[in-house]
């Protein structure tokens, strides 16, 4: 593609140059310009290349985020929690939010702290935030929390999946974009059962940030019907 662009530019330069100095023949008669390439057409070609590159970059990014999402959720499905540490952001760590509203008290761990959490402290009860409605503290071991507020549905094969678009929002204020700034996120969603009128819907959103071309996990946000 780059070679094609360079050839187009060179063609445009040669055309202009010939019009200024190549029309000299024996009888000083102008030589007919047999080409139909104009600067406007050249600009259109360059714009088309830019658009194509932009689409390709976006598609590649979405593929990376979709692949990372499946890897991360597979870790929780298989309960191989220690494997998550290589996905965690090296500077910001990862934050766990039980509901859509991301709160200051939501638990946040560096890579090292998370590794210790799921190994040496895997049986320790941790306060993760507050339950919706009652306001009581969410006090669970890591595996109990992950089962209730991370992987409480078959999110590896969700009913719906999207990237940087919210599928469902409930009563809780969804402040993901303001909390994570320029982070990218995915959403894996189940609509719930007819028996419960869909009130048992649930989503998990994974938030990623890019560092030197690599995307790292910075947030795991669970969402569901709230009071």
Lowest-confidence pick of 23-32, 61-70, 101-110, 114-123: 23-32
- Residue pair 222/203 in contact by the 8 Å Cβ criterion: yes
> Is 119's pLDDT higher than 60?
yes
**Which pTM value belongs to this model?**
0.76
Lowest-confidence pick of 18-32, 56-70, 120-134, 144-158: 18-32
**Given this model, what pLDDT does residue 14 score?**
38
> Is 41's pLDDT higher than 80?
no
The pLDDT > 90 percentage for the chain reads: 70
Quick one: which of 215, 219, 205, 225 has its CA closest to 163? 205
> Is 53's pLDDT higher than 70?
no
pLDDT band at 34 (very low <50, low <70, confident <90, very high): very low
Position with higher pLDDT, 105 vs 56: 105
Rounded to whole angstroms, the Cα distance separating 133 from 138 reads 12
> Angle, to 10 degrees, between the axis of helix 39-78 and the axis of helix 2-21?
170
- Residue pair 207/227 in contact by the 8 Å Cβ criterion: no
pLDDT band at 47 (very low <50, low <70, confident <90, very high): low
> Is 68's pLDDT higher than 90?
yes
Quick one: which of 220, 151, 158 has its CA closest to 183? 220
**Given this model, what pLDDT does residue 13 score?**
40
Instruction: Spell out a b/e string for 183-193, using b for 16 or more CB atoms within 10 Å of the CB, else e.
Output: bbbbbbbbebe
Pairing of strands 94-97, 107-109: antiparallel
pLDDT band at 58 (very low <50, low <70, confident <90, very high): low
Which residues touch 108 (CB under 8 Å, ≥6 apart)? 93, 94, 95, 96
Give domain limits for the chain. 55-224
Give the domain 55-224 fold: Nuclear Transport Factor 2; Chain: A, (3.10.450)
> Is 111's pLDDT higher than 80?
yes
User: What is the pLDDT of the chain when averaged over all its residues?
Assistant: 84
157-173 confidence digits (pLDDT tens)? 999 999 999 999 888 99
pLDDT band at 59 (very low <50, low <70, confident <90, very high): confident
Quick one: which of 94, 89, 149, 91 has its CA closest to 117? 94
| 132 CB neighbour count, 10 Å cutoff | 19
Distance set, CA 62 to CA 51, 58, 201 (Å): 17, 6, 25
For residue 47, what is the DSSP state? H
Q: What is the mean pLDDT of residues 7-13?
A: 42
Rounded to whole angstroms, the Cα distance separating 19 from 8 reads 17
């Amino acid at each position: 593609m780059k070679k094609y662009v360079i050839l187009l530019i060179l063609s445009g330069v040669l055309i202009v140059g010939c019009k200024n100095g190549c029309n000299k023949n024996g009888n000083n008669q102008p030589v007919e310009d047999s080409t139909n390439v104009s600067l406007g057409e050249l600009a259109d070609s360059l714009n088309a290349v830019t658009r194509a590159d932009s689409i390709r970059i976006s598609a590649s990014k979405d593929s990376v985020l979709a692949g990372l999402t499946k890897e991360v959720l597979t870790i929780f499905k298989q309960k191989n929690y220690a494997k998550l540490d290589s996905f965690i952001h090296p500077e910001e760590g990862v934050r766990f939010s039980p509901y859509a509203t991301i709160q200051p008290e939501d638990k946040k761990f560096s890579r090292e702290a998370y590794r210790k959490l799921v190994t040496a402290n895997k049986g320790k009860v941790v306060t993760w935030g507050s339950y919706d409605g009652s306001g009581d503290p969410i006090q669970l071991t890591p595996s109990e929390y992950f089962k209730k507020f991370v992987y409480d549905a078959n999110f590896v094969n969700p009913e719906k999946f999207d990237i940087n678009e919210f599928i469902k929002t409930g009563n809780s204020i969804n402040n993901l974009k303001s909390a994570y700034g320029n982070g990218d996120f995915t959403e894996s969603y189940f609509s719930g059962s007819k028996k419960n009128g869909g009130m048992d819907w649930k989503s998990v959103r994974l938030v990623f940030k890019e560092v030197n071309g690599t995307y790292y996990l910075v947030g795991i946000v669970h969402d569901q019907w709230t009071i």
